[in-house]
Structure 1
Amino acid sequence: MTTFYFVRHGETIINRAQCFNGGGVDAALTASGEAAASRLGAYLDKQSFDAIISSPLQRAQTTAELLLQPTKAVQPAIQIDDRLKEMALGDWEGQPVAAQQNHPEFDHYFHHPDLFDAAAIHAETYQSVLARGQAVIDDYNQAYPDGQVLIVAHGIVLLFLMNTLLGVPFAEIRNQKMVANASLSILTGQAGHYQKQLWNQTMTED
């Protein structure tokens, strides 16, 4: 069985400002976001990976680099995979979340992914995000059927991908809590059958 280590990128300036942080914006990590990623790296310092894959967005790449700095194991080079990029949010990119509360698609976006009309805000569909994320899992499951694979990506991508792997119905995924910035979740499995080994673990300051 493949063991996938899923890490959400560290906090960014846009996260802190409570704005939409989609695939069309790419703010830098905050100092606390960098520190949290480094702490997670220290937690994983003895873990070796067969593959390390990151979203192309800089916030994910920086997180991946910080994770590997404390490592005591020989690690493969970070691979960049465009399919892990965050959901494109169109007109909402970088905008304050509170400013969109009266938009007709706001409730659908946050609570009813099966009803969300992405075209209304020139965004990507949830179905598209999930399909490309699942393709990544399929590829690396086949390439490393007994391997350890680290994936560094984004909140929505991970929300839909991990919950789908665990069998949560598509329409109910937005009822699940999004994992925290600089968090680690570990799933083990293959061929559509995955089990949760660790969920939404963050490393607190000493």
Structure 2
Amino acid sequence: MRHGVTAHTVEKRFSGGLASANPGLSDEGRDQARAVGSWLAPLAEAVDAVISSPVRRTQETAEIVAELLGRPVQVEPGFAEMEFGAWDGMTFTEVAEQHPEELDAWLGSLDVAPRGGESFRVVEGRVLDGLQRLLDEHGGKTVVVVSHVTPIKTLVAHAVDAPLSAVFRMELSPASVTVLSFFRGGKDGTEQRASLRMYNALPPGNDVFAAGARW
């Protein structure tokens, strides 16, 4: 699950991990989290754990969802958002105007990081490390992970065996739900495999998502 909206989400500002301004949820974001929690509540008995990135907006979202599911919140640092460094809190247009060469380099290479931030490759490494820790602890179980745009897209690309550059071709709405399944397969049953079951889903018939789905 992606976290609910913050003021930065609404204003389309770069909003990174713990080194960022670390904004909390807005009232709308809390309403979104409650809507998803209520949507998932009938499945509560099947949920083994609620996992959150350590960032404020994800922890606030996870706490709301976890209360509705009757589960405690565990923290996985690997699922934190990309650090955007000097760009944090700026809009894309502001970065394009003030740091055009840096932005072009970042868009042109998965190995280039914003000044003081992280590259997509660096984020991929820690996200996949976090995934392995999750599988080691909760293998064979269903967990709800509350994370961010970049880590979720990275997990999807990994699951469908797409190149990491596929993250540029995905849209992900606030408080949306994506379902991934990880399992063992192959001839000897030891090969780790994955499948995408659902992507960017929102609770049906919930008006609180009407505007958020556009961001």
Q: Alpha-carbon deviations, 1:40-76, whole Å to 9, x = none?
A: 00110022321221011110011011113333xx42x
In structure 1, how many angstroms separate the alpha carbons of the residues matched to 2:83 and 2:168?
Answer: 20
- RCO higher in 1 or 2 (8 Å CA, sep ≥ 6)? 1
In structure 2, how many angstroms separate the alpha carbons of the residues matched to 1:96 and 1:184?
Answer: 25
How large is the Cα RMSD of the aligned pairs? Answer: 1.9
1:145 corresponding residue in structure 2: 139
Amino acid in structure 2 at the alignment position of 1:56:
P
Q: For 2:207, what is the secondary structure of its paired residue? A: coil
Q: Superposition pairs for residues 80-95 of structure 1, below 5 Å?
A: 80-95=75-90
2:202 corresponding residue in structure 1: 202
2:212 corresponding residue in structure 1: none
TM normalised by structure 1 equals 0.85
Q: Alpha-carbon deviations, 1:156-198, whole Å to 9, x = none?
A: 111112212221112x223322311101000112354211111
2:112 corresponding residue in structure 1: 117
Identify which of 162, 171, 180 aligns with 1:168. 162
TM superposition outliers: structure 1 runs of 4+ over 3 Å:
none
Q: Alpha-carbon deviations, 1:16-45, whole Å to 9, x = none?
A: 112111111211212211111111001100
Q: CA deviation at 1:143?
A: 2.3
TM normalised by structure 2 equals 0.82
Q: Alpha-carbon deviations, 1:73-95, whole Å to 9, x = none?
A: x42x2111222211111100111
Equivalent residue pairs, number: 193
2:149 corresponding residue in structure 1: 155
1:182 corresponding residue in structure 2: 175
Among the aligned pairs, what percent are the same residue? 23
2:101 corresponding residue in structure 1: 104
1:65 corresponding residue in structure 2: 63
2:51 corresponding residue in structure 1: 53
Q: For 1:105, what is the secondary structure of its paired residue? A: helix
Unaligned runs of 5+ in 2: 184-190, 209-215
Amino acid in structure 2 at the alignment position of 1:35:
D
Q: CA deviation at 1:108?
A: 4.5
2:187 corresponding residue in structure 1: none
Alignment check: 8 A CA contact 1:112 1:174 kept: no
In structure 1, how many angstroms separate the alpha carbons of the residues matched to 2:105 and 2:144?
Answer: 31
Unaligned runs of 5+ in 1: 1-6
